Amino acid sequence: MAGYVRVSRDDIRRLAKHLGVTVPAFEAKHILETTRKGEKRIKAGYKSCQFLTEGRLCGVYEARPQDCRGYVCWNQEDTTVWDYAAFLQMPVKALLDRERDMKK
């Protein structure tokens, strides 16, 4: 879904432990942006969450950030990409290919 996912220091520690990496390694790989206020984010705007699995489930559900804990949908299938593809009247594969090409 559209929006940002902020992560606190505790969220970062919990996610790093869950993934079996150090906090600095987690931050280097997974923090997408830091705001002028110093807030760290792992998801920005309309981008899909980097922890969303191919099966459209949360890949870090047990260690998910506080921002995500307020939503009950993260342990269920996420149809965002599929709904967006239908809205654009574009095949899902073409949409995913386009998104992958844009990241290169």
Distance CA 97, CA 104 (A): 11
| Rounded (to 5) percent helix, strand, coil in the chain | 50, 10, 40
Q: What is the pLDDT of residue 75?
A: 46
Amino acid at 5: V
Delimit the domains of the chain by residue range: 5-76
Q: What is the pLDDT of residue 48?
A: 83
Distance CA 13, CA 40 (A): 13
For 25-82, the pLDDT digits (tens) are 999 999 999 999 999 999 887 788 899 888 878 899 999 999 888 765 544 566 666 6
State pTM to two decimals. Answer: 0.66
Is 61 within 8 Å of 24 (Cβ atoms)? no
* CB-based contacts of 68, cutoff 8 Å, min separation 6: 5, 58, 74
